Amino acid sequence: MQSPGEILSDIWTSIGGDPSALGALTLTGDEPQLPSSFRVAAAAQVSVAATALAAAEIWKTRSGETQDVAVAMRHAVVECRSERYLRVDGNPPPPAWDAIAGIYKTRDNGFVRLHTNFPHHRDAVCKVLNCKPERDAVQAALLQWDGEAFETAAYASGGVVAFMRSHDEWLATPQAKALAGLPLISITKIGEAPPKQWAKGERPLAGIRVLDLSRVIAGPVVGRTLAAHGADVLLISGPDLPAIPWLVIDTGRGKLTSFVELKSEQGRGVLRDLLAQADIFSQGYRPSALAALGFSPEDAARINPGIICVTLSAYGHAGPWAERRGFDSLVQTATGFNHAEGQAAGVDGPKELPAQMLDHATGYFMAFGAMMAKVRQAREGGSWHVQVSLAQTGRWLWNLGRVSDGLAIEDLRGEAVKPFIAEAGSGFGPLRYVTHSALLSKTPAFWERPAMPLGSHPPQWPVRE
């Protein structure tokens, strides 16, 4: 089994990282850290370390200075559950799930998972099932359906659900076969442009403008990470778009946040103006949703030659499920993790991973890809497209191997987590939050701006130094 250092080395060199940079990195800690049969702690440490190494490499490019980078495994795995440890005015998170979200049995003795945290997703499920949004009614209705048939019908009507497959069943699907040939992080040139010079500044990403169109966890973690290294991150949301308030607070550190109504021509004009002045355009909506409004990666490269576009998908950018909506919990269910973890735990049915690891690791891989593409842009020009998916991250995590007796350890609580918690003010009240787990010796990571309610700032970029 590969060590975390070997895993990182493979990822780093696969997208053009200088192998000599790995000598400045120290990874500490041992697996397991969380109760799981999968290498979730290694995945946390490696994905965070990749972003830190990229930030250090950018600093070296900008200043000529090298620096040491260290990531402790326990701190990284705590950061990959940051939403659990957030406290607002001393209060813990509210319940994470909608009343009818979760696992249900189907007529063919299978299981399906429903994700109904957004009202329109809940309505779509209830419409297909022709039932009230109550657990007992949903379960009774699902006993009239075979699992895969319900999954297909629910997606067709705008719902987000997953039929639980074993890993072998997942590998037999056309979607898994389409992903098998794709890299973990895909970086492609999508246009010609001259190199853009680095702005002045005292941090790796000082003066870098990041336009962030994302919700929930993976996409927002990108902006939070880039902000930790000094980027100006502007999160764009819509006044009528549903959001999960707790996640907005947790991933909002370091960001400016504006409302822009993309259904209006005026709003699209505002976004075009912001995009024309951005360096990185990161988005977590279904690719076709923004493309329909004139903001595909190719459109972005025409609006702003030299842009770095970063797109997230649930199931990958190729294959019959490329357009499927999805969330971490559903991808875990569809691709075999819940089945395998359940078997390892000796339970009849699905068991979740002990962190939203596909979300968090994918977010860090997106930030890593964005930074490495930016290095290439500054060196050789061009517009670039970075593509990452929850399912590809899942494939990578699966292939790292399993931890024997990993489920036997205690979960991390209280005193174990305390060293990684800091306090700060915010637009929501006093926060206790997880600090960034990557330690850089010359340019420490921190968030300059407090988390603020969505729409708190005008839709404009701060003036560069």
What lies within 8 Å, CB to CB, of 163 at 6+ separation is: 106, 110, 111, 112, 147, 148, 150, 151, 333, 334
> Mean pLDDT across the chain, nearest whole number?
95
Instruction: Grade residue 326 by pLDDT with cuts at 50, 70 and 90.
Output: confident
Residue range 123-141: mean pLDDT, rounded = 89
Q: Within 10 A of 307 (CB to CB), how many other CB atoms are there?
A: 27
Give the rounded percent of residues in the chain with a pLDDT score beyond 70: 100
The answer, as to whether pTM is greater than 0.75, is yes
Please give the C-alpha separations between residue 349 and each of 55, 106, 109, 382, 440, in angstroms, as whole numbers. 42, 12, 10, 49, 43
pLDDT of 412 > 80? The answer is yes
Condensed to tens digits (0 to 9), the pLDDT of residues 366-407 reads 999 999 999 999 999 999 999 999 999 999 999 999 999 999
Phi-psi region of 294 (alpha: psi -120 to 50; beta: other; left: phi over 0): left
Which of 126-135, 206-215, 244-253 shows the lowest per-residue confidence on average (mean pLDDT)?
Answer: 126-135
Condensed to tens digits (0 to 9), the pLDDT of residues 67-100 reads 999 999 999 999 999 999 999 999 998 887 788 8
Highest mean pLDDT among 150-154, 159-163, 432-436: 432-436
Q: What residues does 27 pair with on adjacent strands?
A: 71
Give the rounded percent of residues in the chain with a pLDDT score beyond 90: 83
Instruction: Grade residue 413 by pLDDT with cuts at 50, 70 and 90.
Output: confident
Write down all domains in the chain, each with its CATH number in brackets: 95-402+448-465 (3.40.50.10540)
What lies within 8 Å, CB to CB, of 303 at 6+ separation is: 272, 275, 276
- What pLDDT was estimated at residue 37? 98
pLDDT of 339 > 80? The answer is yes
Closest alpha carbon to 402 in 310, 337, 318: 337
Q: What residues does 235 pair with on adjacent strands?
A: 212, 257
What gap in Å lies between CA 395 and CA 131, rounded to an integer? 35
